A and B are shown apart, each in its own frame.
Chain A
Amino acid sequence: MTTNTNSAGSGGKTRHEVCPVSELPPGKKKIVQVGNLTIGVFNVKGEFYALANVCPHQLAPLCEGRVTCETIAPEVGEYELIREGEIIQCPWHGWKFDIATGNSVFNPHKLSTPTFDVAVETPPTDDDGEDETANEDGTDVEGSDQQAEYGTELMGDQPPIDTYEVEVEAEVVVLYV
């Protein structure tokens, strides 16, 4: 994952490239390490969200749970599944959280897990050849192996036939922490 400081429009947060968009299709999630934070990045129906991978209950790795739905009841004895794919369920005791807001389903106003800003960006061209798979502090990030195949290097030797399409392929999911 590529990390640099982006002071423009991100409130002084640090910019971390998570992966190419193509690696995180709708319904998928990726868990990445940023410094000493573990963060789950989710693609929910084309929208990207990021949650701390920590359950506020007993600090389980929340984002390793199932991506699921909420169950409501139009009547006693009836079940209706709503918001399919929008909920993460803690792998330990099953508490559910809204992926978009980090709010718990059962007590949304009082209990939540932190969220982070995510964006989809075309990465800036980078010719200095630095290793971009490590964070600024030198720690490796999870999933960095695959990421080496993408980014600016891919476009190096083979000039794009269709510039527009290549740029779409090259879009990356970026986390601001």
Chain B
Amino acid sequence: MSQQPRSGSRARDPDDGNLSLVDCDVHPYLRDEDDLIPYLPKNFQSQGVFYPKGYWSSPIGVPREDAHPDDGGPPGSDPAKVADQLLDPFDIDYAILTGGGPSLAASTLPNTYYAGALTSAYNDWLIDDWLSADDRFLGSISVATQNPEHSAKEIHRLADHPQMAQVIAGSATRIPLGQRNYWPIYEAAEEEGLPFAIHVGPEGRAFTNPPSGAGYPNSYFERHTVLPANFMGQLVSMVLEGVFVEFPDLNFVMIEGGFGWVPHVLWRMDKNWKGLKEQAPWLERPPSEYVRRNVRFTTQPIEEPEKSEHLLQIFEMMHAEETVMFASDYPHWDGDSPAHGLPPLPEGLSNAIYHENAQELYGL
């Protein structure tokens, strides 16, 4: 099958059975957050659904204005509307549902028991309301990273669901994700053959560290711009702490934290490794090699350099043919169109980013 590079260069022969597009970041919204209450254990039901919100407010809103379901619910809250507006028109084979609201913010809750219960409730709701609605939806098992023991149990509880494709947590933490207290999560994910993903958003809420080490940003604009700072910290922690030495089959997915910074961090890790490797002697190879082997990055929000050929250079520097997967972030304001978000890509790279890397990662 030959494809001409074009904007959003994808083409699928509908008869050949091959995938053409996997969208690695789609957010299912709750119609009403109280819908989770019946899924909570009895002891927590009277407390309702609560989690740290706000902190920064976007003047243009976070969801897309044009994504409200026809009956007026919140954008992204109706599986049929998501199919109509995203999956069907763009011929998406699979959409990885990455949680949102309470599920991603659960990692910021001070009450670790409630945080665990909230993610379990969300997972059950997701299965009932979304995974059963359309088999193109693949779910993520939400976990609360500050409760690794519960997280590991949750992974084992749901890993057998045929549409659960990965484990996910919000990227906000008190301590970096590579440290050993989190390892029960990675052990469980590796054992079940599921990638572990983090998604930006809740940084700085409640007891977690601010979006960058510089401190709390002033505006949503400032906070949204520095979100990759957290991802840099998490990636370096995961690699240098030896997570991928201890769990060589664990894949780590970094969603919505940008990727223009990846070459820089890879070079910096490899350079420091030469002089400082005695502090991480368990790394048998240069750190960047673990990233190429074990870590994947999603495209949205696509980097938009002055010249689009610079994006191709970044892709080359980070071995995007192995490490990058397409994501739209539907229905958010900063999402990327599957057809027009990325500039034209060479055919091999296009196939890798739009579907092959995700196919391989998620076993599709």
Contacts and interface: CB of A to CB of B under 8 A. Distances in A.
B242 A76 contact: yes
Contacts of A90: 275
Interface string A64-96: 000000111101111110000000001001110
A72 B180 CA distance: 19
A73 B275 contact: no
Nearest to B242: A76
Nearest to A93: B275
B273 A106 contact: yes
Nearest to B279: A71
Nearest to B286: A106
Nearest to A105: B277
A73 B274 contact: no
A77 B282 contact: yes
Contacts of A72: 281
Contacts of A77: 180, 242, 282
Nearest to B282: A73
Nearest to A78: B282
A107 B289 CA distance: 14
B245 interface: yes
A75 B282 contact: yes
Interface in B169-188: 180
B278 interface: yes
Interface string B207-246: 0000000000000000000000000000000000110011
Interface string A135-166: 00000000000000000000000000000000
A172 to B, nearest CB: 35
A107 B275 CA distance: 12
A54 B223 CA distance: 46
Give the size range of A's interface with the partner: 10 to 19
Nearest to B270: A106
Contacts of A73: 242, 281-282
Contacts of A75: 282
Interface string B277-293: 11001100010000000
B276 interface: yes
A76 B240 CA distance: 10
A95 B275 contact: yes
Nearest to A104: B274
Nearest to A69: B278
A71 B275 contact: no
Given A76-B246, A77-B180, A77-B242, A106 B274 contact: yes
17 contacts: A57-B274, A73-B282, A75-B282, A76-B241, A76-B242, A76-B245, A76-B246, A77-B282, A80-B281, A94-B274, A94-B275, A95-B274, A95-B275, A105-B277, A106-B273, A106-B286, A107-B274
Interface of A: 57, 70-73, 75-80, 90, 93-95, 104-107
Given A75-B282, A76-B245, A79-B281, 20 more contacts: A71-B277, A71-B278, A71-B281, A72-B281, A73-B242, A73-B281, A73-B282, A76-B242, A77-B282, A79-B278, A80-B281, A93-B275, A94-B274, A94-B275, A94-B276, A95-B274, A95-B275, A106-B274, A106-B277, A106-B286
Report, nearest first, the 8 A-B pairs whose CB atoms are least far apart: A94-B275, A76-B242, A71-B278, A73-B282, A73-B281, A76-B282, A71-B281, A93-B275
Interface of B: 180, 241-242, 245-246, 273-278, 281-282, 286
